[in-house]
Amino acid sequence: MTSSTSLVPIKTSKDLRLLRQDWRNPVGLVPTMGALHEGHLQLIRHAAHYAEEVVVSIFVNPTQFAANEDLESYPKSLASDIEMAQLAGATQIFAPNVTDLYPNGFSTYVVPSGPLVERWEGRSRPHFFRGVCTVVCKLFQIIQPTFAIFGQKDFQQLQVVRQMVSDLDFQIEIQAFPTVREEDGLAMSSRNSYLDSEERKVAPLLYKTLQQAAAIIQNKPKQNLEVLSQTLTSQLNAAPQIKIDYLSFVDAESLQPVSQFNGNVCLMVAAFVGNTRLIDNLLIQT
Ligand code: PAF
């Protein structure tokens, strides 16, 4: 049910813990860094179907940004985020300050290791999963959700969080939500707002290439995927403004590269479009 009064964001973990005592389960969590778009709203609507309380956390987490990245310029729109989240079915907004989650003296991090984080985002952004796991772990401890929803666009993040939940014995169900796309196929992302009009025109090429790859594999499942990934990388690098960071076929569970189609493959891509780094992926399954 939607209410006519605006949600007042909960600003501290202490307040959230106090309020949490009176919430009825199931509690659904949609963790975000704000700058909400339709992709986030679909996650919130999905959570609202199943939860008594839908908590949307809005926190631009500094520990998952490297010094040369876009922490300072990351888009912020708290007032409209709250309004949009509430309309989509959020019943609680948790929007803490940095000092609330990382007070002076903070010194304990959750550092994932092993094959899931060795490549892809883990290699290109070595700080990233430590920051994500630390903040997600804290959100889980504070909010104690019954379930939490993560977008499949961040496919490696989803798998790393699943692994953390299993390794650290969280009793929280992790739900994956399919990537929400613009009409031309570009995966929705808060970072799309960095693209200028020319970059915005070429950015959908990433998804078109993923679709092209899926079609090629459906026609010729036995071909060598390493060779195909090299061809697709060269093709994309030839487009104006695009510079591929990685493009690889991986096993959708282990995230290890595969050279043969095994029936459960994810094609993952990360690319700079101009100065903006975008990621996308496509599951190719039989
Ligand atoms: O995917 C994101 O927006 C962030 O990595 C998350 C999960 C909210 C953690 O800061």
Predicted confidence (pLDDT) per residue in 204-230, tens digit? 999 999 999 999 999 999 999 999 999
Structure token pair of residue 254: 């282990």
Question: DSSP per residue over 117-135, as a string?
Answer: HHSTHHHHSTTHHHHHHHH
- Catalytic-role residue among 40, 46, 49, 127: 40
Residue-wise pLDDT for 81-129, tens only, equals 999 999 999 999 999 999 999 999 999 999 999 999 999 999 999 999 9
Q: What is the pLDDT, as a whole number, of residue 175? A: 98
Whether the full predicted model's pTM is greater than 0.75, yes or no, is yes
The CATH architecture to which 190-285 belongs is: 2-Layer Sandwich (3.30)
- CA gap 133, 128 in Å, rounded: 9
Q: Where are the domains of the chain?
A: 13-177, 190-285
Give the number of other CB atoms < 10 A from CB of residue 260. 12
User: Which is the closest atom of ligand 1 to the Cα of 151?
Assistant: 1
Output the residue whose Cα is nearest ligand 1's atom 1.
32
**Quick check: 138 pLDDT over 80?**
yes
Band (pLDDT 50/70/90 cuts) for residue 157 is very high
Q: Which residues contact 84 (CB under 8 A, 6 or more apart)?
A: 36, 41
Output the residue whose Cα is nearest ligand 1's atom 2.
32
Residue pair 137/108 in contact by the 8 Å Cβ criterion: no
- CA gap 194, 239 in Å, rounded: 19
Residue-wise pLDDT for 237-282, tens only, equals 999 999 999 999 999 999 999 999 999 999 999 999 999 999 999 9
- CA gap 210, 216 in Å, rounded: 10
Q: What is the pLDDT, as a whole number, of residue 71? A: 97
Known catalytic membership, residue 40: yes
Q: Ligand 1 in contact with 84 (CB < 6 A)?
A: no
pLDDT average, residue stretch 61-75: 97
Q: Ligand 1 in contact with 280 (CB < 6 A)?
A: no
Residue-wise pLDDT for 8-61, tens only, equals 999 999 999 999 999 999 999 999 999 999 999 999 999 999 999 999 999 999
- The verdict on domain 13-177 having CATH code 3.40.50.620 is yes
Residue pair 267/282 in contact by the 8 Å Cβ criterion: yes
Output the residue whose Cα is nearest ligand 1's atom 5.
132
pLDDT average, residue stretch 187-203: 98
DSSP label at 257?
A: B
Q: How many helices (H) and strands (E) does the chain have?
A: 11, 8
For residue 221, cis peptide bond before it (omega within 30 degrees of 0): no
Tokens 């300072």 sit on residue: 72
Give the number of other CB atoms < 10 A from CB of residue 196. 12
Q: What is the pLDDT, as a whole number, of residue 190? A: 97
Q: Ligand 1 in contact with 32 (CB < 6 A)?
A: yes
Q: Ligand 1 in contact with 61 (CB < 6 A)?
A: yes
Mutation test of ligand 1: which of 29, 57, 136 has the most ligand atoms closer than 8 Å to its C-beta?
136
**Quick check: 3 pLDDT over 60?**
no
Query: Pairing mode, if any, of strands 276-285 and 264-273?
Result: antiparallel
